[in-house]
Amino acid sequence: MRHINSLTNPTVKSLRALHERKYRRQSGLFLAEGMRIVMEAVDLGWSPKHLAFLDGRQDDPLVGRLIKAADAADAECLAVSHDVLAKISHKDNPQAVVASFAETWHGFDQVITSNGVWVALDRVRDPGNLGTIMRSVDAAGGEGVILIGDCTDGFSVEAVRASMGACFNLKLVEISEDAFLEALPSWNGRLIGTSLAASVDYRQADWAAPLIIMMGNEQAGLTDALTAAAKQLIRMPMLGRSDSLNLAVATGIALYEYVRHEHPDKA
């Protein structure tokens, strides 16, 4: 274990750099903050590469568990000052624990061979939406999230934070729109698209798994090509003056309609 007070320490700088996508891609690492989220990752079998915690907390039993897991994974263990944690976290009031993990991306073959439910997001831009959706997919017992086209990063600090650790229990797939459309004929399950222009009420759809629920970009909705690829196109009724639901809210409603159909004993 190393004790670090210096804000210019190279490891501190490299952990701080993980707030930027460019450095995450270069290093293959991402950051998770907070005892609960880091513990969730470790409990699910993820191995930390770095573990930084507030110096003096070594005797806390939970921090002790994380140090043990970090040692077992040969991770760098850093007992750091409050200011160093604040620098790594970009926050004045940082969490007492920050860890880095290796980004794990899955191929579309994982979707093809799965019997569960996936959410496919077309060019999702907001990391808060993405994290919230990951949390909902996990809550609904889903397999993972397919990021189609130019999406916000599933391993950004904001997305990981908003997922409340659900990202560690899901598979993340990145794919271009062309590759997704090319791979679809190999998919034996259902593909439900969601659109404000659809005429079918979401309660009328066939929600049986294996299933991909496809959601559109926050501003533009689904592209024409993705809309055309959806075997079923559904909408949620809008009764007031708002013209659409928030993307993450619409995804949650769709996922729980799936739960109601496929897991009636739990719904």
| Residues written for the chain | 267
Q: Which of 69, 84, 111, 250 binds ligand SAM (CB under 6 A)?
A: 250
Q: Which CB atom, from 225 or from 238, has the smaller least distance to ligand SAM?
A: 238
Residue 168 beta carbon to ligand SAM: minimum distance, rounded to whole angstroms: 25
Q: Which CB atom, from 38 or from 255, has the smaller least distance to ligand SAM?
A: 255
Q: Which CB atom, from 129 or from 163, has the smaller least distance to ligand SAM?
A: 129
Q: Binding string, 24-63, against ligand SAM, x = CB under 6 A?
A: ----------------------------------------
Applying the rule CB under 6 A, the residues between 193 and 232 that interact with ligand SAM are 194-196, 215-216, 218-219, 221-222
Tell me the Cα Rg of the chain: 20
What amino acid occupies position 93? Answer: N
Query: Residue 172 pairs with which residues in a beta bridge?
Result: 145
Helix spans in 114-176 (H): 127-139, 157-163
Q: Which CB atom, from 41 or from 124, has the smaller least distance to ligand SAM?
A: 124
Structure tokens at 55: 């110096």
Q: Find the part of the chain contacting ligand SAM (CB under 6 A) among 79-87, 89-97, 150-158, 188-196.
A: 188-196
Query: Residue 51 pairs with which residues in a beta bridge?
Result: 77, 99
Residue 235 beta carbon to ligand SAM: minimum distance, rounded to whole angstroms: 4
Q: Total number of residues binding ligand SAM (CB under 6 A)?
A: 16
Q: Which CB atom, from 157 or from 247, has the smaller least distance to ligand SAM?
A: 247
Residue 135 beta carbon to ligand SAM: minimum distance, rounded to whole angstroms: 17
Residue 223 beta carbon to ligand SAM: minimum distance, rounded to whole angstroms: 10
| 147: nearest Cα among 203, 263, 100, 156 | 156
Q: Binding string, 228-247, against ligand SAM, x = CB under 6 A?
A: -------xx-x-----xx-x
Backbone angles phi, psi at 50, to 5 degrees: -135, 145
| 255: nearest Cα among 198, 168, 194, 199 | 194
Structure tokens at 164: 């409340």
The strands making up 2-4's β-sheet, listed across from edge to edge, are 2-4, 76-80, 50-54, 97-102, 29-33
Backbone angles phi, psi at 173, to 5 degrees: -120, 130
Residue carrying structure tokens 């690492």: 29
Residue 254 beta carbon to ligand SAM: minimum distance, rounded to whole angstroms: 8
Residues forming contacts to ligand SAM in the complex (CB under 6 A) are 194-196, 215-216, 218-219, 221-222, 235-236, 238, 244-245, 247, 250
